[in-house]
Structure 1
Amino acid sequence: MNVHWKPRGGVQASVGIINAVEFDPDLELLWVSDSFGRLMSFTTHSQTNTLTWTAYSSFLASTRPLSGIFFLPLGGEKIVTVADHNVIRGYKRGGALFLCRTLPPQTQDYIELFQTHGGTGVVSFTGNVGLTRFSIGNEGADRSVTVPLGESKVVALHQTERWIVTGSTSGSIVVRDSNDLQVVDMVPTSRHRVLAMDAYDDTIVAAVVERSMTSGVRVYDVRKMAEPVIAIGGIPSDSVSQVRRYRDSFGISADRAFVLTSCGFHIVQMDQPSPVFSSNGMVEDACTSVSVSPNGMCAAIGNDKGYFIALAHPATREDYVMSRFEKPQRPVNPVFTQSWAEKKEGDTFAFFDETVPAAELASNWPPEDYMILSVPAPTRCLNVESRTVLQNRWGFLRADSYLPDPKDKITSNLPDPFPFNLGLGDDPAAVQRKLQDMKKDQKRRYFDLREGTAGEYAPLEPARHVCYSSHHRFDWEGHNAIPRDVVGLDNSFPECWITTLLQSLYLCHPPEYPVRKVILRHLCTREYCIACETSFIFSNMLMTSATGLNPIVQVANLIRTMYKVPATASLFEPVNSRDEAVKRMHTAQLVLLEALHRGLQDEKAYPFMEHKPPCPDFEHSIAYLFGTEFSSGGRVHLEPQFYWDVPSSALKVNEGLQHLLKQIESYRDQVQIKRLPPIIVLRLNPEGGTLKPPRCLHISREAKEDSNYVLCSSLIHLSDDADDPGRFVIHQRILDNRFSLVNDYRVTAPMEEQELEDLMPAFHSHRAVVAYYALDKLAAPPYSLQDGNRPPNMFEVLGPLLLNDTLAKPLQRDPSAQRFKSPLASFYEIKSNDLVALDAEYVVLNWSSRCIDAGLENNSLHKTHMALARLSCILSSAPGDERTIVDDYVHTPEVIEDYVTQYSGIHPGDLDPLKSSKCLTSRKATYLKLRALVDRGVVFVGHGLYQDFRVCNIAVPAEQIIDTLMMFHKPGGRYLSLRFLAYHVLGERVQEGEHDSVEDARTSLRLYRKYQQLVSEGTFDTVLDKLLATGAETSWYVPEGRDAFGVSSVAFTGATGSPVFPDAPSTLVAAEVVESVEFTPTE
C-alpha cells in the first residue's frame, strides 16, 4: 500500500504541548495529556466522513508534564495510571481518584521515566538512585526492587512482560529481567546516542542518532544483542521524540513503527532498510506523541501546538472503532418481548433485563455520583440469543440504563458526570432548560470549527490555572510574540472582559502613548479610586515589559474597586445575549472614561501629602484627550462628550461621521462643535451590522482645518450565535500600519490588518464594536519625556508614607495605639541596594461574581481569590541590622471565606476597622509603600517571593529579588520549606502554631546572610547536599517544641548550633551586635 494511514480530522486539546496520547484498551476513548499535567479523554461524536471529537473527561492529574499514560488492572477494571513527581496515581474514566501510592520507602526520592505493564501490574521507573521495579497488587501489597544504573543519562525506558529495557545517551541499551532487575544482555556504548525506544516480546526497536544530522532505527533480538537484526536509516532529523511499533491488522506486511520527529513522522517497516512512508504534506509540525489502537485500525498523533490528529487504517470506511469491541450480529428473526409484558418462568427466548444490579451501571462512576433524572423510563428490550440491545421507539438510551456495550458513547445531551451533576438542581421540570444552558456554556468554551479550531482567537484557559502555578515552565514565547511592547492581562475571573478597554487605553497611539503617560501621574488618597487602580496596573505593565518579567499582569484589585464604586458596579450584571454584551461594552467605555476623568479631578479634593500635579491643567487631561466640546443655545457645555455613535444607517464609517458632523454644523443656533478631541472613540454596530473601522479618518469642517486620525485599536466581539454573550479581543496598532491581536495574555506578532482578518474564525460571528482613533500629530505630554520606558520614579513622593501612614488613620479605632511606629528618622535612610526582607499573609475571599447567573451557579463556577491580609518588611543595611519598617494589616471589606489562620496568623476581626486592634491600613497604602521601596532600588529577600508579589499586585524587576526558596534548591529536587531550613540551617524554630510574617521575613533574611557566608567559605554545595540527605532520612520532619536545642531564645543569642551545624552559631547575628541595635517591637 502506498497510503498507510488516512487522516480523520483533529482537535486542539490544550494550549500546551501534547506529551502523551493513548487509546483506552476497553472503551471507545482516546486519552491525551499536556505539558500542564492535565489528563483528558475524548470520544467520537459522530460516525461520518468528518470525524467530530467530544471531551469525555478532563482533570488535573499531575503537577508536572505527563510522559506516558498507562492502564493497570485494579479492582476488577483497568485504571488510568500516571506518575507525578513522587507519587503514582490511578483514575477512573471520569476522573475519580482510585489509586494514590507514594514511592516505597528506601527506593528513590522522585520519578523521572515511568513505565507499566498492563498484564502484570508491574511498574518501573528511574530516579535519583537508579532503576526501581514496583509491583502493585490488587490486594494492596507493594513489592519493590531498586538497582543502581551504571550507564550514563538514561533517556528511554520500556517494559514488557519479561524484560525492562533502558537506553542512554552513551548509546548503550541494557536489558534486565523484570522480576529481579538482573542484567540479561546489553548493547555496549557507541557513538549512536539513543533517542527513543519501544519493546515487545523479545524485540527492541531503538531510534538512534547517526552522522550528518540524521537518525536511524535499529531492531534487536533480546536473545542475540551483539548485532541488530536490521538497521533502518535515512530519517532526515537528529531529534526523535517517540517510536511506536504496531502490527498490520490484516497481517499483510511485517511489523511497522511510527518514528516521530521535529518536522513530522515517518513509518518504518521491520524488513525494509529505509522508511516506507513520510508525512510530508499531512503533518509538518513537531510531533511529540503517538498511539495505535488495540485493534490496529486507528492511530493518533499529538504535536507541540496542542493538537492531536486522528488517523485511520486505509481499509476502514466511515466507522472509527478504537477498541477491540465487535458489534454482535442481529439474528434474522429476532424474538423479544416488551418491558410491560409479564415474564414467564422458564422463558429462555426473551425477557426484559431486570437482573443487573444498580452497582453495575455501564459508566465507571459510582451510583451515588449521579442525580438520576425523574423522567419516564423508556422501553428497552434485550435479545438473549444475540445479546443485542434494541433501540426503543423513541431512539433514546438513558445514561443510567444497564448497557453491556462498551462502544456506547455518553449522550451529548448530558453534561460531564464528574465531579457531580449538582448544577441541575432538584426540580425535574427545570432540568431540560438547565441542560441546554450547560450545553451552550460548554459550546462557548470548546467550540470546534469545521475546519479546525479558532486558532489565535480561541478562548484561553484562566491564567490562575496555567500561568501562575507553572510560570517557570509556561510557554510564554508561544503566547506572546512581543512581550517588550505588549503585556497580557489576567483573565481568571468573568469580569476580566473589561481588560480590553484597559489595553486600548494603555497602547493608544504608539509610540507616544499619551493616555498611559497621563494616568501614570495620577495619585490621590481616595480609598476606592478607579484612576489610581488603573495607574497601578499601567505601572505594573510598563515595569513588566521594561524588565522582561513574565508578560502578564493582574487586574483583580481593579475589579474589587469597581464593585465598590456604584457607577461601575452595574457593569458586571449578567449578560444573556450577543447584542446585550455589545451594549454593555459601549456603556463600559463611557463609564470608564468618566471614572478616569473624575479621578483626575479628585486630586484636589483628596490630595496625597506633598504630591503636586505635573501641570496646572492636569485635572482636565482626560477631557482634553477624549472630550468633544460643543455649545448649545450659545452656552458652552462644561462636560464634554466622550464618544461618537456612528449611525446604523451608514454604509461606511467615514461617510456616516461626515454626515453627522454636517448635520450638527447646520444647526448653528442650537448646537455647534467647538473642538474635536485628539482621540476619537467610535461606538459601532450596537444592534448588528458590519461596519468596519477604516485605517484612517479624514474629517473636513467648514472654516476649520482638516483633521487626520489614524486607527489605534479596534475592539471586536466574537460569538457563536445570537444567544451567546461571547467575548472580546483587540486588533491593536503596534508599529506604523501593522497590528497585533491581543487576546487576554495571547499576543501575536505585528502584521498587516488583512492578515489578521484572514486569521479570524470563519464560523464565528464577529463585529467591531469600539474603535479608538488618534490625531496623526498627537504628542505625549511634555512632563513625561524624562520617564523613558519605565514608570515615573515615585520614591520622593511616596517615601514619607513609610514614616507616617496618613491613609491608615480613618481605619483605626485608636490611631495613637494602633499606629505603626517606624524605627526610621527619615525615609532617606533607606538606600539603594539595601536588603528588605519581605513576607506576606493572605486570606481567601468569597468571590461572588455578578457576571454569573445565580440560578446556574454551582461548585464548578465558584471562584476564590487570595487577598493580601498582612505585609511585613525588615530593612537590613548590614549584618545584624534588622529593622521592621512595614507591618501592615490590610483592610478587606469583602466577605472573607477563610482566614487560613494556621498559615496566615490572621483572626476574624483583625481586618475589620470596627474590631481590629492591629495596625490596619488600606490596600492602596500598602501598595504605595511597596512601590516606594521598588523605586528606591532596594533588594527584596524572602521565601517564595514571586507568589507574594503576585498577591500584592506589584511588578518587581528580577534583579531586585532574592528568593531563598530557589537558593536552597537543586533542579529536579524538592523545594525546602522555611521551617525546615530555619531548623536545620539556623537552629531556629519558626511557624510553630500560627505563622507570623515578621518572624518569617526575619528568618528569610538570616538564611540569606547564612547563604552568603557558606558561599564565601566554598561549602554551600556540600551543605545543601547534606540538607537534602537529612530531609530524605527524616521525611522532612521538624520536631515540635521551643526548647529542642536547650536554649530559651535561639534567635538572638547565637550560642547554640543547628542539626546541620552542631558546632557553629545558630545565626549570623552575634549576641553583642544584637544588643547594640535597638529593635522596635511589633504587634
Structure 2
Amino acid sequence: MESQWTEVHQLCDTNPSKISPVSALCWDPYQELMWVGQDSGRVASYYGKGLQRYTSFKAGIDQQIRQIKATDRGVISLTPNSVQMRDRQGLVRWNISGHEHMKDLHCMTTTIMNSELLVAGQQDHILVVNTARGVVTKSLEGASNIVVMRHLPRSICCGSMLGEVTLRDPRTMKVEQRIQAHTATMSDLDVSGNLLLTCGFSQRQGSLVMDPLVKVYDIRMAVRSLAPIPFPSGPMFLKMHPTLSSTCLIASQTGQFQMCDVSSLSMGALVPTSQFYQVQTSSYITSMDISSSGQTLAIGDGNSFVYQFADRENYTMNPYSIPVVTPDTSPAPNVIVNDSSPLSSIGMPYYTDRLLSAWTQPSVYEAGYPAPVIDDEVLRSMKTIDFVGYAPNPGNVLRNQVPRRKKQIVKRDIPKFRSEQERELLSARGILDDDITLALDPQCVNMPKHYRQVEIQYSKFGVDDFDFGYYNQTIYGGLETNIGNAYCNSLLQALYFILPLRTITNCHIATVCEKSNCLLCELGFLFKMLRDSNGQNCQATNFLTAFSTIPQAEALGLFEPEAATPNISYSMLIQNFTRFILEQLHQEANVKENPVILTTSPPSEDAVTTPSTIQQLFGLQTSSQTKCAACNHESSRTTYPFVVDLLYPKKPKKRSFTSVLKGSMYRESQTKAWCAHCQKYQPSTSKKIIKGLPGIMIVNSGASSNEDMAIWRQNGPSASPNSSRQDDSPSESSWVPERIGIRIIGTDVTIKAIPMDADIPIEFQGPADVSTHLILRLLWPAATGLSEEEMAKSPWFVFNDFLVKRIRPEEVFSYKGTWKVPSVLQYSRIDIDEVLDTSTIPNSVDYSILFKTMTIAEYTPDKLSYEPLVPEEMPKPGTLVAIDSEFVALKQEETEIRSDGTKSLIRPSTLSLARLSIVRGEDGDTEGVPFIDDYILTNEPVVDYLTEFSGIEADDLDPKASKRTLVPLKVAYKKIRLLVDLGCIFIGHGLKKDFRIINILVPPEQIIDTVDIYHIRNRHRKISLRFLAWHLLDEEIQSEGHDSIVDAQTALVLYKKYIEFRKDGSFGRVLEGVYEAGHKANWLKGSKEQSTPRTASTPQPALDSPAVFKARWAM
C-alpha cells in the first residue's frame, strides 16, 4: 500500500481512421500478454514490458467485445450474441453463435475446475458451455438481467441491472442469498475471500445517479454490511488485488483511481492522499484490469488508448510465465555487396504472373498535346444545336490543322549556385528586371513574384555559394532571412532611410555606452553596414541577437516562433515591434541633458527636462487631460507616443484617410479614474490633445478585420474639387494620400490631403508657432541617395529581405489584392532639413577603447597575451593590421539524406565569435605584436566549442573560471568597427567568412586575403593557411590546436612574402610550385624530417630573414 503507481507506457489502436473505444481488458495469467477488446469487435494482444503488438483478430462482426478471459487452453471473448475461444496465436478453437438463448450477453465466468464456462446477460437464461468441446451443455432459467459475474470456491456472485447481488450454488445455480446493494443498475463487483465489494447507481427523481460509495459486505455466514469506502468522483470499476486479499483498486469514469485497504478502513483509518492517482486522458475510462502479480495494471479509455501503470521499476506481469511463442525468423542470405558486385548476384523474387514492366511495343505511344483553347470570339458567335456547337471560321486558322506549339521554356524562380554558374560559364541574370514597366496588372490583384517569401538555398559550399545578386541589382543592401526574428528586417530597412535617425545612431556609437545589449548601438552598427553595402547582402545578426535577450520583448510576444503557424498575424507583430523598438531606442538615447534638435517643437507645460532625440524625432507631443465629473477638477500631463494607431468607424462607410487619421489622433472617452481632489475613483472625461508634431510620424494601420481592409481597398476621394491630378495618379486611385497637411491651432487639428503636383494651400503656410506641418510619405531624395534622373523613374523600392527591386508608384498605393495587408506608414516633414538640426548632438568619436585593457572575468590574468596600442600608434588610413578569429557553434548544421544517398545541407551550423586577435602589421620593432586578443562572452548556449579547430575551451568563455581577457561581443565589435572607420587594411586568411560571422561589412579595398592572393583563378582548390606556412615558411602551425594570434602572424608573413615575390617577379612560378607540391602531398602538410617539395625557384627562408620577423617567435 505504500508503493507509488506511475505511468510506464501508453498504446493506441493502429487504425487512425476510426476511433474505437476499448471495451475490455485482460492480463493473461499464464503468459506475459495483455488482451485488449474494442467496440468494433477486434481483439489484440501485446507482449512484454514494451507492449509490442503480438496478435490481432476480429472476434465479432461490428459487435462490442464485452469481456475477455484467458485460460490455460486459450482466450475466450464474449460479444452480445457469441462466445469464441482462440489460441494465443489467433487460431479459432471453437465458436458458439446463433444460439436461441444468446440474445444480449454481458458477462461470463468459469467454474472451480475451469472446465465449464457460465455465460449470462440481459436474458432469462444462464448458459453452461463446455470449454473443451465448445458446446452449450445446459441452459438454466430464473436468472435475468445479469451484467456482472464472479466466482468463489463455494458460490457464484451475480450482479443484476436492478442493483441486486445473488449468491448461487455453483452446482445447481440455485439462489442461496440475496443482497440489495443498489436501487438501480450494478456497474461492477468483485470478491476476495469473504469480502464482497459493489458499486453502482441509484434512482433519484426518475434519473440514475452514481453512488459515491463502494459498498462492502462480509459473506461468510449471514451477509453482513461493513463500512463503505467513500469515493467522491464516483466508483465505476472494481478489482481486488490478486496478492493482497483485503486491498482493492477503485476507478471512476473521469480517470481517477486509488488503492484502498478494506480492513484498515473498517477500523476507521483514512486513505492516504498519496494513494489517489489521475489518468491523463482526454476521454472517459471504459475498462480496467490488474495483472496476476499485482505489480502492473491497465486502464482503457474511449479514444482507443490503453494506459499502463506499475508500482515499481522492475515489475513483472505474472509470478511465473510461460514463454510467448514467436514466429520463426528466416536467416538473412549471405550476400556480400560492394561496388564491384554485379547486379546479377542479387536474386529475383519468384513470380508466376507477367511483370507490369514487360510492356509490348504497341503499348508505348507518344501522348498528344492537349486541345487548344478556343478563342473568345468563336465562343461568342457559337450556336448550339442538339448539344453540338457551331461557329463560323474566323479565318485565322487552317481547316483540319492545329499548329504544333513550341515547348515552353520554364524560367527558374531561383538562381543557380555560383559553383554551378562557374561550371556552366553562366552569369546570373535576375528575374527581377529593374525596368519599372514590368507587365503587371495595374491594381496588383495577383501577387507579383517579388512579393513572395524568399529563402536562402544552401549547397555543399554553404551560404557563400548562393547568388544574392540574382535578387538585388540596386545600390541598396538587403537583409538575410536565416536568423531568428527576421520578420524585423522590413522595419529595419525602413528606419535606415530616415537620415536623422541614422545621424542619432552614428553619434551614439561614437560615444561610450556600457550597456552590452544596447539596441541603439546595434542599430548604428547595422546602418553602417547598409551604408557600405552598395547592393551586397547584409545580416542583422547582432541586432536580432541583442533583441532576443530583452525580457520585455518576450513578455510582449514579439519573438517569432521557430515554426510559423497560420495563427500568427505578422502585420500586428510588426506594428507591435515598431512601438517597442522606438520606446527602447528612446530609453537608450535619453541622457541627462538631451540636445534640442527639433526647432519648432512647442515647450511643454510640465516638462522638467528636454525630450530625448528619439522623442523629438518620432514623438507626437500630446497633452492628456482628465476632468472629474464630480468636482470638475482638471489634471494634465504631457506624453510623447511614438505611433498613431488608426481607429476605424464601427459602422463601415466610405471615409477618407485624413478623417480616420484625425479621429485616431484626437480622442475623447468617458471612464472611471482616480481623482486626486476627491481622493477616490470618479467618472471622468479624458481627452488627448495634440500639441506638436514630430519630424517623422509613424502610423500603424491596425487593419485586423475584413471590414478594415475594405476601407483600404476603396478608391481615395479627390483631395480638393479643383484638383488638377490625373485619374491614374497614386493618390487618386488609392485611399492613402502621398502627401497630407496638418494644421494645429489651439486644440483644433485640421488634416487635409494635398496632391504632390499641387501648390500648398495658403492655410498651411502659417508661422512656425502655429505648429503647421506639411508631411510627405517616407522618401525624400537625400535619404535614397538617388539622382534626379533616377528619382524621375520611380523613387519607390520594395525591400523583401534580401530581394530589392524598383517598383512603380501604383504598386505602393494599391491594396486591391487580398494578399497585401498594410502595416506601418511613415510620413516625414517636407521641411525636415530646415527644422531639424542634428549638429547639436555630440559626435566626437571615443578611441580610448583601443588603448585600454578591460575584462569581465573574475580572474585577472597576470600576463597579457597582447600589448594594447598607445596614442602614438593611432591607426590612420592605410595602416596594416593582421586579423584572425575563432568561433564556437550555437547550433549544429541540419542535413538530410536523399533517396540516392547524397547529403543535402538544409541549414548550416550557427557560429558565434569566441576570440578576436589583431596584430600590428607595419614594419618596425612591434611588427607582428598583437594589440587585441579578446575572448568573447556568449550569452546563448554553446553546443560545440570546436576546440580541435578553434582552441577554445569551455572555461575560456566562463566569467567565473576564465583566465583570459573576456569581453562582451559589443566591445570587441566596436574595436574592429573603429579600425574599419579609421581606414585600416586587414590582412588575414579566409576573411570573408570571419567578417560574415562577426557581422561586419568591410570595404573590399580594405581587405587583403591570403586565400585569394595564393590562388589561381582557374583552379578550384583554395589552399589552407597550414599548407602555405609549411611549404613557403617551413613552419608547423595548427598542429596542437589553433591559436588565432599565430594564424594572424602567419597570414602577415605570407603577405610580406607575396610582396617579395612580386618584386623579383617569381610569384607566378612560386604559386605553380605550391599547387604542384600540394598535388604530390595530397594537400597534407609534411613532417619536419621530410624534405619540402619546393620548386628550384623557391628559396629556403631562414629564421633571421626579414620576412620572418623576430617578434613572431618572441611571443
Normalised by the size of structure 1, how large is the TM-score? 0.49
- Using the size of structure 2 for normalisation, the TM-score is 0.48
Task: Name which one, 1 or 2, has greater alpha-carbon Rg.
Answer: 2
